[in-house]
Amino acid sequence: MPSSEAGTDLKVVGKRLPRVDARERVTGEAIYPADLALPGMAYARILRSPLAHARIRRIDTSRAAGLKGVLAIVTAADFPELPVGATIPMGETGYDMWMVAQLNMARGKVLWVGQPVAAVAAVDPHIAEAALALIAVDYEPLAPVLDIAAAIAPDAPVLHEHVLTKGVEPHPRAPSNVCSRTVIARGDAARALEQAPATARLSVKVDTAHQGYLEPPVVVAQVDANGFATVWASTQGQFTAELMTARMLGMPLSQIRVVPLEVGGAFGGKIAIHGEAVAVRLAQLCRRPVKLVLTREEVLQGGTGPAAAARIDIAVGADREGRLLAIDGTYRLDAGGLPGLSPSLVMQASAALYQCPNLNLQGFDVVTNKPRTEAYRGPGGIQAAFAMEQAMDALCQRLDLDPLEFRKRNASVTGSTMPIGTPFPTIGLTSVLDRVGRHPCWTDALPKGRFPRGRGLAIGYWRGTSMTSAGHITVAGDGRPMVTMGPVDISGTRTTMAQVVAEEFGLSIGDVHVHTGDSKSVGYSDGAAGSRVARTTTAALVEACRDALSQLRLRAAEKLQCAPDQLDYAGGTFRARQPGGPAIGLSELMQATLADGAIVGRGVSTKLPLGVEIGAHVCDVEVDTDTGLVTVLRYTAFQDVGRALNPAAVEGQVEGSVVQGLGWALTEGYDYGPDGRLRNASLLDYRMPTALDVPKIECVIIETPVPNVPYGVRGVGEVPIVPPAAAVANAIARATGVRMTHMPMTPERVLRALQEIR
């Protein structure tokens, strides 16, 4: 049996193989929810709040209901009211269901422009759209708070009467827009900073950005004659979606099934439901299948949650040799209209890679009358790195110390104390930094150009999560493994899991069929998020393979008339150990034992030891000092992936994630007007990078396996978005002497910063 600890004799795992599902993508045959057309299907649209903050006095749907072709209309009144504090299980911490319900249908109050207030199902999309205009909502406008500063001001209007700031002593009694205060500290950072021979301070502002997936969320819901609901969704987690949908509807879990279809990009933005429960309720009311569609404008303007804006202050101090003495950080994250965004992971991530005796990190999440934020690849990481990695770089400049050398001098290693006090598991930061130092991207001189050029370095860390992943393997009549995996594939995991199972079975990848189960056909699995799927599903499926193979072994032993432990298995065949002994292949074995019942190997992984992610990025830029335009000339991302199950898949994750980071670094940012409405709610003015805006991203893979987990795999997909903004900012600083403190670093902001130092 191939060992998952084996290094060099792997035959399928570690190979650069094409995706098993690439063909249907290049032919357009891959099915996303928008592609479904069910007989009698109705079309639904959502009515959204035009105001950033208001009480809903009354909703009059009568005129809309009278429009010919309108089949059903719902508001919050059509859903049970959930109490504050209602949660659904998710991983170790659960997920705020009261918040999810508000995200999907406002109750009593609207908290951002674009929050849903009603939904209509009609016989065709034009009628659905026309009906929206006929729903009359009587709002009592309230003063909105549109940024962190306004939200924490003493007389700020309070969004939620029930929110009392957590983590503050004595416990407050008056409600606040500050939902929580988190502190991570050790030593005495204030004194150490005061006494440090060299210090650097930076305060940054980061604008809201969106995950920018190309597929707007679409949900199709159908309720059968017995009231059983099926939901087809573009979702990161069919079980999470099912839990949320059932809870919002007040429906038993046994009455609903969520089928995950292809996902046209998610990146954290499709963990919460956006319309699933609404679509089911409409389907129940009109007794037809319902397709609920979000337009791109809705996606951007409050229909789905973008990533958090932030204000972060960092101060760092070091001795004259560049050894860190203190890090002080204040992290303020803009949660949007609903609470539930903890800054803790972000705070830890920004400081974790540095050995530093004195830390004082304080984090706040603040609600504002803007779309409720959701996760976006290592949520909070890129914002925090923009501050921290620039502060470190400024410190290097002050000490005239090479930034790579500085990182090496202060690098956390296996066993170093993490900010929360626990020791670091096995990590390879030093290996990563060594590779940077030996690579041409670092050793090549920066070629001269028409305008100033600079090179920036930034490192990044993301912890990721494990949670639960399940899967099972049945063996087909021809002996081939058929895998049903629980976690949704948003990063190429159907392919990498096919590789793992092929490796375990000693077969080729073409012999393995992989499929994602729906919420009733596979074991419970948490959503695809937190860089957890490849690692944990590997563990679950390795267990499932061993289970299946041991069942097969028993059958083979019976057929070959020998003891099970006298059989060897390799490459699809069981062979009796004695020379010339009998053998039987999987196909023959299955055919001979069809009447003995199915072979089903099961596996589950829960709370797998973490495979934390570490990356170091090097970026060369040219700054047009007349216009402020920044061109990224060269970009190299170094990342420790533990073991690359498939180098092409790893590179794809890294390259895509880096380009997302470059987009937020340079051109992507929400532009809110004074009324809380987005002024750039289109892909014309919400500027994501095109193929002409970025160079080829080079990805260098380092492998420091995680001990004691199958194949030693680490998470991959989140950390690459963490360093880019800082890497670009550090390069700009080296090129021009300017420290950019507002992200995105648009040409106008760069030019203004240049003009200020002239």
Partner 1 sequence: MQDFSYERPDSVEAAVAAMRDGEARALAGGTDLIAQLREGRRRAGRIVDLKWVPALTSIAALPDSGVLIGAAVSLSAVAQHAAVAADYPAVAQSARLIGSVQIQNRASLGGNICNAAPSADAVPALICHGARARVAGADGQREMAVEALFEGPGRTALEFGEILISILLPPPEPRSAATYLRFTPRREMDIAVAGVGTWLRLAVGGAVAAARVVLASVGPVPLRALSAETALIGEKPSPALFQEAGRLAAGDARPISDTRGSADYRRSLVAVLTRRALADCCARLDGRMEAL
Partner 2 sequence: MKTLLMCTVNGEERTVLADTRDTLLELLRDRLGLTGTKEGCSNGNCGTCTVLVDGEPVCACLVLAQEAPGRDVMTIEALSAGGTLHPVQQALVEFGGTQCGFCTPGIALSAKALLDRNPHPSEPEIRHAIAGNLCRCTGYGKIVDAIAAVAARTQGR
Pick one of 683, 703, 742, 749: the residue that binds partner 2 (CB under 8 A): 683
Buried b (16+ CB within 10 A) or exposed e, 409-426: bbbbeeebbbbeeeebeb
Q: Which one of partner 1, partner 2, none interacts with residue 566, CB within 5 to 8 A by kind?
A: none
Stretch 110-129 residues interacting with partner 2 (CB under 8 A): 124, 126
* Phi/psi at 38 (5° precision): -100, 150
Helix pair 344-352, 381-399: axis angle to 10 deg? 30
The DSSP-derived string for 612-644 is -EEEEEEEEEEE-TTT--EEEEEEEEEEE-SS-
Question: Which residue type sits at 231?
Answer: V
126 belongs to the binding site for partner 1 (CB under 8 A): yes
697 belongs to the binding site for partner 2 (CB under 8 A): yes
Reading phi first (left if > 0) and then psi (alpha if -120 to 50, else beta), residue 187 is in left
Question: Cα torsion for 182, 188, 189, 192, to the nearest 10°?
Answer: 180
Q: Read off the tokens for 522.
A: 């596979």
Q: For strands 358-367 and 600-606, give the pairing.
A: unpaired
* Phi/psi at 491 (5° precision): -140, 15
174 belongs to the binding site for partner 2 (CB under 8 A): no
3-state SS assignment for residue 481: strand
Pick one of 10, 11, 15, 35: the residue that binds partner 2 (CB under 8 A): 35
757 belongs to the binding site for partner 1 (CB under 8 A): no
Q: Read off the tokens for 381.
A: 């990481």
621 belongs to the binding site for partner 2 (CB under 8 A): no
687 belongs to the binding site for partner 1 (CB under 8 A): yes
Stretch that binds partner 2, among 22-30, 72-80, 94-102, 480-488 (CB under 8 A): 22-30
**What single DSSP character describes residue 166?**
B
Binding mask 532-571 for partner 1 (x = CB under 8 A): ----------------------------------------
Whether 619 and 558 have beta carbons less than 8 Å apart is answered as: no
CA gap 547, 544 in Å, rounded: 5
Whether 378 and 653 have beta carbons less than 8 Å apart is answered as: no
667 belongs to the binding site for partner 1 (CB under 8 A): yes
Pick one of 9, 400, 626, 756: the residue that binds partner 1 (CB under 8 A): 626
Q: Read off the tokens for 582.
A: 């009998």
Whether 156 and 324 have beta carbons less than 8 Å apart is answered as: no
Stretch that binds partner 2, among 155-163, 302-310, 678-686, 707-715 (CB under 8 A): 678-686
Strand partners, 313: 203, 330
137 belongs to the binding site for partner 2 (CB under 8 A): no
Q: Which one of partner 2, partner 1, none interacts with residue 247, CB within 5 to 8 A by kind?
A: none
CA gap 758, 754 in Å, rounded: 6
Residue 533 vs 599, nearer CB to partner 2: 533
Stretch 408-467 residues interacting with partner 2 (CB under 8 A): none
Q: Which one of partner 2, partner 1, none interacts with residue 671, CB within 5 to 8 A by kind?
A: partner 1
Pick one of 81, 161, 321, 685: the residue that binds partner 1 (CB under 8 A): 685
Q: Which one of partner 1, partner 2, none interacts with residue 397, CB within 5 to 8 A by kind?
A: none
3-state SS assignment for residue 299: helix
Pick one of 319, 321, 405, 748: the residue that binds partner 1 (CB under 8 A): 748
Is the C-alpha dihedral spanning 138, 142, 143, 144 positive or negative? negative
Stretch that binds partner 2, among 74-82, 86-94, 140-148, 654-662 (CB under 8 A): 654-662
**What single DSSP character describes residue 196?**
-
700 belongs to the binding site for partner 2 (CB under 8 A): no
3-state SS assignment for residue 400: coil
Q: How many C-beta neighbours within 10 Å does residue 684 have?
A: 7
751 belongs to the binding site for partner 1 (CB under 8 A): yes
3-state SS assignment for residue 660: helix
Please tell me the count of residues contacting partner 2 according to CB under 8 A. Answer: 55
Q: Which one of partner 1, partner 2, none interacts with residue 25, CB within 5 to 8 A by kind?
A: partner 2
627 belongs to the binding site for partner 1 (CB under 8 A): yes
CA gap 420, 350 in Å, rounded: 12
680 belongs to the binding site for partner 1 (CB under 8 A): yes
Stretch 223-282 residues interacting with partner 2 (CB under 8 A): 262-265, 267
Binding mask 422-451 for partner 1 (x = CB under 8 A): ----------------------------x-
Whether 260 and 32 have beta carbons less than 8 Å apart is answered as: no
Q: Which one of partner 1, partner 2, none interacts with residue 423, CB within 5 to 8 A by kind?
A: none
Please tell me the count of residues contacting partner 1 according to CB under 8 A. Answer: 22
Least distance from C-beta 323 to partner 2, angstroms?
36
Q: Residue holding tokens 């196909």? A: 587
Binding site for partner 2 (CB under 8 A): 18-19, 21-32, 34-35, 37, 124, 126, 211-216, 262-265, 267, 295-296, 490-492, 648-649, 651-652, 655-660, 682-684, 688, 690-692, 694, 696-697
Binding site for partner 1 (CB under 8 A): 126, 450, 626-627, 629, 666-667, 671, 679-680, 684-685, 687, 689-690, 692-693, 746-748, 751-752
